[in-house]
Structure 1
Amino acid sequence: MLWLLLLQVLASCLWLGHSEVVMPFASCPQFFYGGTPPNNVLEPKKPAWICQRYRNSYHFATLYDRDGRIPVYSAYIYQPGSGIGPESVWFVEPQLISKNNLKDMETELFLIENYDFTPDQIKQSQAVDDDYSHLLGLSRGRLNPSGHHNSTDSRTATFTLTNVVPMDKSLYIGQWNVYEFRTMPEKSKGCTTTYVITGAVPGNTTVAEGRVNRPSHIWSAACCLVGTQPKKAWGAIADNYQNQLEVLSLGELENRLRGHYGATEVTLFKNACPRE
């Protein structure tokens, strides 16, 4: 019986293909404090654990919802720098399409022209550029923003649609932008390393003719290390229908998410990160 169980596990791994959709983030634990992702309360029915890879390097990690076609969260290390990414280029993840050996994010056109994927194959389990081309009052809200990275490749890697949710436009250019580029620099002063997890609570409405979920809330959490010791942590949450945002303690954010998910416990970081 044990041999049969091991055989089933091996078969499941092979079914996923030789790709960077891994469980749970086996190739990129470095983007989580202590190598520990959030607990499984946030996992959707059809999850994909993506080690986001561009130009042969890992840049962040994303838990993706194949049904809702949005990221549940993206995790990264906060290293702000100047410069922006390729505003006119958006990537998709070939590892979400079918069994293949492609590990790096690519554009839809590249996959169609070079690997004979069809548009229908590409968009089956993920959002595509056309899903975000005709939104009204909404923006392509990147959970992991390019401005939180200090290398060209890392900034470019944030322009994958598996890192994007439909975000209220006034929020995206308003209070969320203030949090990303004013609050984060202020709060992370003195931190040797700052781990960030930014996510979206699935909502009850959709866009793009029902293909893409519109989250009800956007949230972010950070754990600041001085040397190797966690010294402080914080969170933020915003209603995805208005330009308002609250900055909270990590414990308060986890409690809010517990309510939104109907869960008994939400743990975003290991317990060493302060909750108050």
Structure 2
Amino acid sequence: MGLRCGILVLLLFPLLSQGNVTPFTNCLQFFVNRVHPTVLRDPMENNRYREICQCLMDQNNQVVYYYATLYDTKNKIPVYSAYTLQHSNVSRKDPWYVEPQLDNGSDLCMGAQQPSSIIWGQHQALNKDYVSSGYHKGHLYPVYHTSTDLFMLATSTLTNAAPQDSHFNQGQWRTHEYNLVIKLLQNADCLMVYVVTGVVPGNIYIGNGVRVAKYYWSAYCCVIKYGPNNSQGYLGPDNNGKVETLTVQQLETRLNVYYNSTFSVFRGGC
């Protein structure tokens, strides 16, 4: 049986955007066995890491979730985004929305940055942080892994991006994203493919305290109807600017060091 993609066919409610700062309990469908990866904690800053169920409002003003993100409000970049793998040819648009709730706004879902009483950028990156920085807004959930215009729009939020070296973004990492689709969507054994993509912060900042990603990492779990699920991990760039292929366990060993915390991607589910 081929990969089954749950695609919601909904109308876009006038430019309300993607991102509801709610516990992951509201969007567990994007995790293997409905169990999310490790949520990092900072004992000195309780609200540093925010769980976001990324959403759109439909024509009936109802929330529809598209993926999940753990966001680091101190470094102003995501830790990871989790989604189910899909693909079709969609025209890319990058509106680059923001999340009002991260800066104490009250809107339910994300939208375009508008003049208001909100002091924008206290806890999240803004478009202006990237201007003349030399870095790309690197999607964690990439456009290439979406299947409809609505899924595509749902990725174009600054809570789903981190500053990424332009050569790596346009080169090896893009090749990795493309190869993942070819490899997994042609695998008839996969009933569903869950993907988690994250970043490790480096020591460089752009704009108003936005941390540049030192590494990008990714892991997938191919759920198989009969037999054990299979998985793979990826990490880059290495010293040669390439993407390493690892087991998920090897990837987690690296992430334990990088995050200075015990970290599990699939929590034993794959």
**Preserved CA contact (<8 Å) 2:87 2:181:** no
d(CA) in 2 for partners of 1:93, 1:228? 41
Q: Establish whether residue 105 from structure 1 lines up as the match of residue 110 from structure 2.
A: yes
The aligned residue for residue 37 of structure 1 is 36
The aligned residue for residue 92 of structure 2 is 85
Q: Deviations over 1:87-135 (max 9, x none)?
A: 3x110112212151x2222011xx32xxx344xx121111111111212
The aligned residue for residue 22 of structure 1 is 22
Q: Establish whether residue 171 from structure 1 lines up as the match of residue 177 from structure 2.
A: no
Q: Deviations over 1:136-187 (max 9, x none)?
A: 2x21100000111111111111000000100111110111000001234214
**Preserved CA contact (<8 Å) 2:73 2:124:** yes
Deviation at 1:43, TM superposition (A): 4.1
Q: Structure 1 pair 169/255, CA: closer, same or farther in 2 (3 Å)?
A: same
Q: Structure 1 pair 228/139, CA: closer, same or farther in 2 (3 Å)?
A: farther
d(CA) in 2 for partners of 1:170, 1:43? 32
d(CA) in 2 for partners of 1:229, 1:125? 44
d(CA) in 2 for partners of 1:197, 1:248? 14
Q: Considering fraction of residues, name the structure with more helix.
A: 1
Match of 1:252 among 240, 250, 255: 250
Give the match's secondary structure for 2:147.
coil
d(CA) in 2 for partners of 1:70, 1:228? 38
The aligned residue for residue 182 of structure 1 is 179
d(CA) in 2 for partners of 1:117, 1:162? 21
Q: Structure 1 pair 244/91, CA: closer, same or farther in 2 (3 Å)?
A: same
Task: Please list every run of 5 or more consecutive structure 2 residues that lacks an aligned counterpart in the other structure.
Answer: 1-18, 58-62
d(CA) in 1 for partners of 2:90, 2:238? 27
Deviation at 1:272, TM superposition (A): 3.2
**Preserved CA contact (<8 Å) 2:33 2:269:** no
**Residue correspondence of structure 1 range 1-276 to structure 2 within 5 A:** 20-23=20-23, 25-40=24-39, 42-43=40-41, 45=45, 46-55=48-57, 56-87=63-94, 89-100=95-106, 102-108=107-113, 111-112=114-115, 116-118=116-118, 121-136=119-134, 138-188=135-185, 189-190=187-188, 191-208=190-207, 210-227=208-225, 231-239=229-237, 243-263=241-261, 265-273=262-270
d(CA) in 2 for partners of 1:240, 1:93? 32
d(CA) in 2 for partners of 1:205, 1:245? 21
Q: Deviations over 1:187-223 (max 9, x none)?
A: 4522110001100112222111x51001221100111
TM-score, with length taken from structure 1: 0.81
d(CA) in 2 for partners of 1:83, 1:123? 30
d(CA) in 2 for partners of 1:170, 1:97? 32
Q: Structure 1 pair 66/243, CA: closer, same or farther in 2 (3 Å)?
A: same
d(CA) in 2 for partners of 1:54, 1:228? 35
Larger RCO, structures 1/2 (Cα 8 Å, 6+ apart): 2
% identity of equivalent residues: 33
Deviation at 1:239, TM superposition (A): 2.9
CA RMSD of aligned residues (A): 2.0
**Preserved CA contact (<8 Å) 1:200 1:218:** yes
Give the match's secondary structure for 1:243.
coil
